[in-house]
Amino acid sequence: MKKNLLKITAILGLTTVLLNSCSPKDSPPLVYFPDMYYPVAYDPLMKAEDAYSDHENEIPAFVKNGGATGLGPVSGTVSQNKDGVFEEGLLPKNVDEYNAGYDASKGLAVSPLNPANQAKDLARGKILYDRTCSACHGTGGDGQGPIVVSGAYSGVPKYADRQITVGSVHYVIMNGRNAMGSYAGQLSAGDRWRVAMYVMNAFKGGAASPAAATAGTAVATDSTATKK
């Protein structure tokens, strides 16, 4: 009797295994922690749905947002593009595209940042330039940074000797030029423009800050009054 019971149990177990192994692939058996087996790639513009079932996602944060997963930044975090500057998403594919883009960038003489914040932007641009660029370009923009002076690298021109605009400086920061690589991964969209503004202001006499312009006006007024 016991032997027959064991045989029946074994047959039933084997049948269960075979049936489960032959079940449709679109109806997998229940598993623990299904998110670990079926990762969900959320589309921020669509309602989220679980990959392993047909019901809509019920995560509270998504429900409050109408089911969309494109939520705003968590309170206290830093926005990735707080300046609202949107640029081209594709790098030049070849030399011709690069040169065409560089030539076009020379026609841009004003950054897209808010001119009301120019003084602050120039101050931050100086900090970023000193940290990121001065090792080669030098703090004075003369191409004599410590790396060049050491003899490890050469051929960095002076900004004063170059025909550049804020647009072309930004283009080079974004895409690189000659031996210089792109710094798009080191500087945010807004900060790239701040560095370009600082270069023009400090080494090419352009993009003067509002404070400097005001001071210049005051000096001119005083000298005019003295002449009178």
184 or 206, higher pLDDT: 184
Does residue 144 belong to any structural domain of this protein? yes
Burial of 175 per CB tally in 10 Å (0-12, 13-18, 19+):
buried
Residue 53 Cα to chain centre, angstroms: 35
Residue range of the domain that includes 157? 115-209
Name the residue among 194, 196, 127 with its Cα closest to residue 164.
196
Provide the CATH number for the domain around residue 200: 1.10.760.10
CB contact at 8 A, 113 and 190: yes
205 or 102, higher pLDDT: 102
Highest-confidence range of 21-30, 55-64, 121-130, 180-189, by mean pLDDT?
A: 121-130
Residue 219, token pair as written in the block = 């000096």
Q: How confident is the model at residue 208 (pLDDT cuts 50, 70, 90)?
A: very low
Per the structure, how many domains does the chain have?
A: 1
Q: Stretch 22-28: mean pLDDT, rounded?
A: 57
What 8-state DSSP symbol labels residue 118? H
Amino acid at 50: D
